[in-house]
Each structure stands twice: as C-alpha cells, then as structure tokens.
C-alpha cells in the first residue's frame, strides 16, 4: 500500500512539473500600431498602448528574453528619469512604466518600450510568476497576417445615402438675343412667352369685390427649401462633414435647420 502511495505522489509531482515547464508568457510589441499583446499559455490576456522609440531612436526589432528585472530604476543616460518596473531585454533597452501617459499610443521614447505604470507593474508580476526563462519578448513593425484589411469608404453617391440631386434651371433669353443655333439635323425654335390676357371689366369688378370682403390672410413663412425625390436640400448652414456631404431630411419633417 505504501508503495502505491509513493508511485502516485511521484506521478503527481511529474505532472505538476510538466505543467510548469509548458507554461509560457509571450510579449508582443507591435510598433506599427503602438500596442502590446500579452499572451499567457496561448491566450491573449491584455492589450495595452505603448510608446516605442521615435525618429532615429527606434526600438530594435527582434525576439528577445528578459535579461534583468528592476522594480525601481532610474536612467543614468537621460537625466535620472524614473523607469519603474523595468524589464531589460537587449543592450539597455527595457520595458518600463512611464508617467508621460498622454504620449502612449505613439512613438515618443528614446528606444525603450513605455507602458502605463499600472500595466508595467502587472506585466512585471506576470514575468516573475511564469519565470524569465519562460518569457519571450518580440518586437516587430509589420502588421499581423491575420489582421483584416481596412474597409474602403464608399464614394459619394454610391453608399447607403440617397444620390445627390441635380437641379436644372431654365434660363429665359434676354430681349434682343438671337435665337439658338441648330444642333445637327435638328432645328430649334426660340420660345416666345405668351401674351397676357386682358382682364374684362366684369372680371376686374368681381376680383375687387372679393378682395374687399375677404378676411386678411395670415403671413405665410418663407420656404427656404424645396422638396426633391422625397428629400429636402437644406441651405449651406445645414451641411455637415464638409461641402462634399449633404445632410438629408425626410420631406415630411417641418423643423428648420439652425
């Protein structure tokens, strides 16, 4: 019986050591998106904004492992700047916390990888938990192959919005202008406006009597917009997104644009 207990205990210890040996922590720093992915045992645990090296001080790309860890560290090269929870991985380059929080999400450092101090503390504890020997740090500037391509925006008049209306105005030719020239084999005749009909005395009398007896009509508000294809084309003060985009209102709406 005692022999069986020893065998079971040895098997459990071997399984526990095997599980610890397979545990891994992968830290992916993407310079193209200024993001860090923390992958623990194959599962994405965190995604944080970072700041990598700017201009000629770019963070070197490659695959590294933690070399040294310092919970409280100050840079001797850059005015004794604080570098809390520093994880050094290559020739003085480190992942560390930064108090320039408003710069996160864009290149701003002298080559290190900056993190929010709280995120740096959490990453520091994860590396200690899994062990530096089971941690991989990868710095890359190429997008991941499984990232979807950005969706192209539809051109004006081809998206879900209604097409832009075209307004054609008829221009009356001024007096003394020669008639239009014929195009091709077609002949075009100049349009002459019809002469107004003379009003008869009876018609003028009835119209004047009706105008005297009729109650005064209330003033009608001005109509600044015209209905076209079920939509209202509003004045320039109602445009949004620049002159190339229109703001459409249904023709049943009566509220004016301010």
Residue entry with tokens 């009729």: 214
Percentage of the chain lying above the pLDDT 70 cut: 46
pLDDT digit string (tens) for the chain, length 258 residues: 565 554 565 656 655 554 555 669 999 999 999 999 999 999 999 999 999 999 888 999 999 999 999 999 888 777 778 899 999 999 889 999 999 999 999 999 999 999 999 999 999 999 999 999 999 999 998 755 555 555 555 555 555 555 555 555 555 656 666 666 656 566 555 566 667 776 555 555 555 555 565 566 655 545 444 434 344 444 444 444 433 333 333 333 444 444
CATH number 3.90.1150.10 is the correct assignment for the domain at 24-140? no
Distance (Å, whole) CA 42 – CA 15: 19
Quote the CA–CA distance of 152 and 150 in Å, as a whole number: 6
- CA 65 – CA 185 distance, rounded (Å): 84
Task: Report residue 119 as tokens.
Answer: 């995120």
| DSSP-based three-state secondary structure for 123 | helix
CA distances to 106, 143, 223 from 147, rounded to whole Å, are 20, 7, 51
pLDDT tens digits along 136-164: 999 998 755 555 555 555 555 555 555 55
Calculate the CA 85 to chain-centre distance: 32
Domain residue extents for the chain = 24-140
How many Å apart are CA 190 and CA 179, to the nearest integer?
Answer: 5
Q: What pLDDT was estimated at residue 167?
A: 56
Please give the distance of CA 120 from its chain centroid, rounded to a whole number: 27
């Amino acid at each position: 019986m005692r022999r069986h207990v020893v065998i079971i205990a040895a098997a459990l210890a071997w399984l526990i050591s095997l599980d610890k040996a397979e545990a891994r922590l992968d830290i992916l720093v993407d310079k193209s998106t200024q993001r860090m992915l923390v992958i623990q045992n194959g599962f994405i645990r965190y995604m944080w904004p970072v700041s990598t090296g700017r201009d000629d001080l770019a963070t070197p790309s490659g695959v590294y492992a933690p070399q040294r860890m310092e919970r409280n560290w100050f840079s001797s090269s850059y005015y004794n700047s604080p570098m809390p929870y520093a994880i050094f991985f290559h020739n003085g380059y480190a992942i560390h916390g930064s108090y320039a929080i408003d710069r996160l999400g864009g290149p701003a450092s002298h080559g290190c990888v900056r993190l929010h101090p709280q995120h740096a503390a959490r990453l520091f504890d994860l590396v200690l938990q899994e062990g530096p020997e089971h941690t991989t740090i990868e710095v890359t500037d190429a997008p991941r192959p499984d990232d979807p391509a950005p969706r192209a925006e539809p051109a004006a008049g081809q998206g879900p919005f209604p097409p832009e209306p075209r307004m054609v105005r008829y221009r009356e030719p001024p007096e003394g202008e020669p008639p239009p020239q014929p195009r091709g084999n077609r002949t075009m005749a100049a349009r002459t406006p019809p002469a107004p009909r003379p009003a008869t005395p009876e018609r003028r009398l009835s119209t004047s009597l009706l105008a005297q007896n009729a109650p005064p009509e209330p003033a009608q508000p001005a109509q600044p917009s015209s209905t076209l294809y079920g939509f209202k084309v509003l004045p320039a003060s109602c445009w949004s997104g620049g002159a190339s985009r229109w703001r459409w209102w249904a023709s049943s709406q009566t509220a004016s644009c301010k």
